[in-house]
Amino acid sequence: MHPDIYHLLIALAIGAMIGTEREYRSKSAGLRTMIMVSLSSCLFTILSIKIGVENPDRLAANILTGLGFLGAGVIFKDDNRISGITTATTIWMVAALGMAVGAGYEFLSLFATLIVLIVLIFLVYAQDKIDEFHQARNYLILCEYQQETLDKYEELFKQHDMKILRGVQNKTEKHITGRWILIGSAQNHKKLTQYLLGDDEIKELSF
């Protein structure tokens, strides 16, 4: 088998392994995306060696620049956190693996792929365990304005062992709204939300 075909097949396998994990977790960049990133990076590297690019580092820089658009496309912000950063960095890593294969570093790329899979598959359980004891959530509380602020809720947060990372209160003609980022354990978040859901003074609650 021609060495270049062999390298492309390895790049295909690497993209498929990492892409399968991303696809299983229903990420925006899944199986096909990771395969294409790995294959294209490998092929560009092979072509640069064949053509004899004077400065190979420029090719690597251009590949990473192009991937910046893909990475930005998978990052988005929801109500409580920014999502997609892991998938974006995985795209960069898959490109690096494809480039390593194209340059002839098969063992290095396969060993690095193993490390990536360990990080993506097993460390997610450690991350979930950390979130049980330390997670940040956005809270929004809207009440009818009764000539007072919502500082009483900040005292309530402290009673539930919550750390207030940031808080903002806004008043309109008839209502007052408070927005806070609170850090605490999952159990304390649950107790707090149960209490807030039973508060008749709260007209709107988001958490």
pLDDT at site 193 = 93
Least confident of 60-74, 174-188, 193-207: 60-74
Distance CA 185, CA 30 (A): 31
- pLDDT score of 189: 93
Tens of pLDDT, residues 30-63: 899 999 999 999 998 888 888 766 666 666 667 7
Report the range out of 81-95, 124-138, 180-194 with the highest average pLDDT: 180-194
Query: What letter does residue 154 receive in the DSSP assignment?
Result: H
Q: How confident is the model at residue 169 (pLDDT cuts 50, 70, 90)?
A: very high
Placement of tokens 């999502």 in the chain: 83
Q: From start to end of 78-162, where are the E strands?
A: 82-83, 135-144
Percent of the chain with pLDDT over 90: 52
E strand or H helix at 177, and its extent? strand 175-184
pLDDT value of residue 69: 67
Write out the residue limits of the CATH 3.30.70.260 domain(s) in the chain.
Answer: 134-206
Query: Which among 101, 111, 86 has a CA at the least distance from the CA of 29?
Result: 86
Over 60: is that where the pLDDT of 70 sits?
A: yes
- Give the mean pLDDT of the chain: 86
SS3 content of the chain, % helix, strand, coil (to 5): 60, 20, 20
Choose which CATH entry (3.30.2320.50, 3.30.70.260, 1.10.760.10, 3.90.1330.10) describes domain 134-206.
3.30.70.260
The first and second tokens of residue 70, run together, are 């893909």
Q: Read off the pLDDT of each residue in 12-41 and give the average, rounded to a whole number.
A: 90
Q: Is residue 65 scored above 80 in pLDDT?
A: no
Q: Give the pLDDT confidence score for residue 8 in this predicted structure.
A: 94
Residue 7's pLDDT band, with cuts at 50, 70 and 90, is very high
Give pLDDT, residue 132.
Answer: 80
The pLDDT value recorded for residue 15 is 95
For 140-167, write each residue's pLDDT tens digit.
999 999 888 899 999 999 999 999 988 8
Dihedral angle sign, alpha carbons of residues 66, 18, 104, 40: negative
pLDDT in tens, 73-127: 666 665 556 667 888 889 989 999 999 999 899 999 999 999 999 999 888 888 7
Q: Which of 139, 130, 196 is nearest to 166 (CA)?
A: 139
Angle at 16 between CA 12 and CA 19, to 5 degrees: 135
Give the chain's length: 207
Short-list 1, 5, 3, 7, CA closest to 108? 7
